[in-house]
Amino acid sequence: MYRVTTELHFSYGHRLLDYDGKCAHPHGHNGRVEIELYADVLDRADIAVDFTRVKHTVQGWIDQNLDHKMVLRGDDPLVPLLADLHEPVFVMDHNPTAERLAELIFDAATQQGLPVACVRFWESPGSHATFEPAAGGVALDGTASPARARVPQR
């Protein structure tokens, strides 16, 4: 099996609800994303996955949905306030942690037909989270991978 990795970058703001610490307050990060893709065989140009395709599809999705936006949980009281001010917000079902952002980007990439092995998400130079589906195509919460790959369209 071949594995290739590409790195993407974006800036975003967030805060965590139900959290006791500095991250409970609005703040920003310069996120770094590593998307690891796989292929059993190389194409006729001897390429596993074209980096340009990844850049156009996933970076495009990130730029449209996450870059320079406040990423918040749906029940965050800031959501309607920022919406009323016409500020850019991306709403998630869960807290926008590094773990959940890695999963979100994994889902977005797989929905675009990319053979993603895992996504690593850095919210700071020294801290990252990795998401990859559990062996056998079943997520840790017991759902099958295709059913769990729902990306909010916001």
Q: 106-121: per-residue pLDDT in tens?
A: 999 999 999 999 999 9
CA-to-CA distance for 47 and 44, rounded, in angstroms? 7
> Rounded to 5 degrees, what are φ and ψ at 35?
-110, 120
Domain ranges of the chain: 2-148
User: Which of helix, strand or coil describes residue 62?
Assistant: helix
DSSP 42: -
Enclosing H/E stretch for 144: none
Q: By mean pLDDT, which of 12-16, 67-71, 140-144 is the weakest? A: 140-144
The answer on pLDDT for 49 being more than 50 is yes
**For the residues 69-74, what does the mean pLDDT come to?**
98
Predicted TM-score (pTM) of the model is 0.86
The predicted structure's pLDDT at residue 135:
66
Arch. (CATH architecture) of 2-148: 2-Layer Sandwich (3.30)
